[in-house]
Structure 1
Amino acid sequence: MKRILVVGGGLIGIRHLAAVAAHPECHLVGLVDPDMSVAPQLNRFADMTQVTEQVDGVIIATPTGLHARHGVYAAERGWHMLIEKPVASDLAGAQDLSRAVEKAGVGSLVGHHRRYHRSAQQLKHLIAKGDIGTPVCANLIWAMRKPDEYFKGNWRTAGGSPVMINLVHDIDFLRFVVDDIVATTALRGTSLRGTARIESGAVSLAFANGATGTICFADTTPSPWGFEAATGENPNIGTTGQDMMWIIGTNGGVSFPSMTLWSGKDWSAPAQKTSLDVNANKKPPLDAQLDHFIEVMNGAQPLIDVTDATRTLATALAIEEQLSPQLKGVANG
């Protein structure tokens, strides 16, 4: 039995609490959250320093700006950790955390949970074994219209860029199935809600394996295209089942999540379509992630640790920075 502490009682923290409580190989030590009215039936702590019980692993689901500080403290206590994504709010914090984890010799896992979709792992394997030949291009769309209430009376009115809230997931997904991203160029779209907030844009990508790619994104457009809508993973977002990513190579291409494989030789004949059997999740990705966290605590190699997640963060921050000068220009104009 692994003794697990959850830090942060927000929407995702509550889901982690339920997963730990239901897991036959876990014992829930309790919840750390300054709001003591959250889950009062549990063993409650207002701060991590109050925890005197034995802890094997901690799940950190606090606001992103607190991830590095909480993770460093957990490492100093000798606790293995699962940290929600993004791993930190800036590179300095992520690098501090990486050093603390290495110094303490504890295991780290970062909650980029899309890697646990069996269809995502199927896609990664298909590309790696050369079913589409050498990857050449990857194109992804994330587009939906967030409700106006999402932005009213909170920090998102000015700072709710979909890059760090949403695109960070797609960036990590592309890194997982294609390769590391080594360069980006971003163009900002027009703001339609009357604020200076980033709402839409297009990003060009260069991968370490020589492939290139694009991401088109918007949070102002009702559309069927986006990971959540395509896979049905988020109960708050309507499911469409429409493909939202297309990867092409020297022998053909594949679309996701339908896992439709296309193959051919040259333009003299149409590409041939093969519909593959899509690997279905045996467990919700969050539960599969908890299974893997237990393995990491037992010494297994993490699917994505703090160092790897820092590369995802660096790409997202670079895109945000490339959009910011354009953003200031629009705001001043």
Structure 2
Amino acid sequence: MKRILVVGGGLIGIRHVGAAQAHPGCHLVGLADPDMSLAPNVPRFADMAEVTDPVDGVIIATPTDLHARHGTHAAKRGWHMLIEKPVAGDLTGAQALRDAVARAGVGSLVGHHRRYHAAVQQLKAMIAAGTVGRVVCANLIWAMRKPDDYFAGNWRAAGGSPVMINLVHDIDILRFVVGEIAAVSALRGAGLRGDTRIESGAVALAFENGATGTISFADTSPSPWGFEAGTGENPNIGTTGQDMMWIMGTEGAVSFPSMTLWSGTDWGQPAQRVPVQKAENAKTPLEAQLDHFLDVIDGAEPLIDVADATRTLDVALQIEGQLASTVKGAIYA
């Protein structure tokens, strides 16, 4: 039995509490959060510094800007950690946390849970095996209309950019499946809820392996395209089953999440559809991630550690910085 502490009682933190309670290999030490009204039926701590019980692993689900501080505290106490994405609020914090983890010799895992989808693992294996040949380009769409009350009376009122909330997941999937991203160029769309918040845009990507890619995104447009809608992973977002990512290579192409594979190199002949049995999740990604975290505590290689997640964060921050620096109205004149 691994003794698990959860830090942060927000929406995802409470889900982690439930997952730890339900897992036969976990003993929930408790929940640390300054709001003591949360989860009254589990052991409560106002702060992780109050915890004196033995802890094997900590799940950190606090606001992003606290990740580095809380992760460093955990490392100093010898606790293995699972940190929600993004790994930190800035590169300085992420790099400091990376160094703290290395000094302490503890295991780290970052909650880019989409890597645990069976179809994502299948897609990665397919690309690595050269099923579509050498990857040439990848296109991705994420678009939904978030309700206005999503931004009302909380930290999202002044920010809430979909880059750090949503696209950071898609960036990580592209890194995981296609390869490391060498350069980005981003254009910002017009603000519909106000001029200060990033709401939509287009991103061009250059991969180290020579492939290129694009991301089109918006949190102001209802659409059937997006990872959540396509896979049905989020119960709060309607499932459409529509593809949202297309990867093209020298021998064929594949679309995700349907795993529709096309083959053919003769431009005079139509591409042929190749039957593929899509891999299905045996467990929810959150459950599979917790299983893996317990293995990481025992010394297994993490699927994505702090150092790896820092590279995802770096790309997301580059995109965010380019979008934020756009002069209001200048490109719409």
TM-score class, shorter-chain normalisation, is over 0.9
The aligned residue for residue 174 of structure 1 is: 174
Q: 1:133, 1:175 → 2: CA distance?
A: 18
| Cross-structure match for 1:122 | 122
Asked whether the 8 Å contact 1:188–1:327 carries over to 2, the reply is no
In the TM superposition, 1:77-96 aligns within 5 A as 77-96=77-96
In the TM superposition, residue 6 of structure 1 has moved relative to its aligned partner by 0.4
- Say whether the 8 Å CA contact 1:158–1:195 is kept in structure 2: no
CA distance in 2, matches of 1:196, 1:15: 32
The aligned counterpart of 1:187 is 187
Please name the residue that 1:69 is paired with.
69
Q: Deviations over 1:215-265 (max 9, x none)?
A: 000011110000000000001100000000000000000000000000001
CA deviations 1:3-37 (Å, max 9, x no partner) are 01000011000000011111111110111000111
- Structure 2, unmatched stretches of 5+, are none
Distance 1:125 1:102 in 2: 29
Q: SS at the partner of 1:159?
A: coil
* 2:256 counterpart letter in structure 1: F
Aligned-residue offset at 1:40? 1.5
Q: Find the residue that maps to 2:201 and give its secondary structure.
A: strand
Note the residue ranges of structure 1 that are not aligned, 5 or more in a row: none
Distance across 1 between alignment mates of 2:215 and 2:58: 34
* Superposition map of 1:291-306 within 5 A: 291-306=291-306
Contact 1:188–1:202 (CA under 8 A) maintained in structure 2: yes
Matched residue SS, 1:4: strand
Show the 5 A alignment for 1:247-258.
247-258=247-258
Report the 3-state secondary structure (helix = DSSP H, G, I; strand = E; otherwise coil) of the residue aligned with 1:100: helix
Counterpart in the other structure of 2:39: 39
Match of 1:12 in 2: 12
Preserved CA contact (<8 Å) 1:259 1:275: no
Residue 62 of structure 1 and its aligned partner are, at CA, apart by: 0.3
- Counterparts of 1:108 and 1:25, CA distance in 2: 18
**Residue 238 (str. 1) matches residue 227 (str. 2):** no
Q: CA deviation at 1:330?
A: 5.5
Asked if 1 retains the 8 angstrom alpha-carbon contact of 2:195 and 2:328, the reply is no
After TM superposition, give the deviation of residue 327 of structure 1 in Å: 4.8
Q: What pairs with 1:207-222 in structure 2 (closer than 5 Å)?
A: 207-222=207-222
1:53-76 C-alpha deviation (Å, 9 max, x unpaired): 000000000000100000000000
Partner of 2:314: 314
Cα RMSD of the aligned pairs, angstroms, is 1.4
State the Cα deviation string for residues 114-145 of structure 1 (Å, max 9, x = none): 00000000000000000000000000000011
- The total of aligned residue pairs comes to 333
Query: What's the secondary structure of 2:169's corresponding residue?
Result: helix
How far apart, in 2, do the equivalents of 1:154 and 1:287 lie?
29
Post-superposition Cα deviations, 1:159-198, rounded to whole Å, max 9, x if no partner, equal: 1111111100100011111101110000011112233211
What is the match of residue 157 of structure 1?
157
Contact 1:198–1:327 (CA under 8 A) maintained in structure 2: no
- Matched residue, 2:53: 53
Amino acid at match of 2:110: V
Fraction of identical pairs, as percent: 74
Q: TM-score, normalised by structure 1?
A: 0.98
Secondary structure, counterpart of 2:273 in structure 1: strand
Matches of 1:323 and 1:84, distance apart in 2: 24
Matched position secondary structure for 2:14: helix
Aligned partners of 1:30 and 1:43 also within 8 Å: yes
TM-score w.r.t. structure 2 length?
0.98
Q: CA deviation at 1:154?
A: 2.5
Question: Letter of the aligned partner of 1:216 in structure 2?
Answer: S
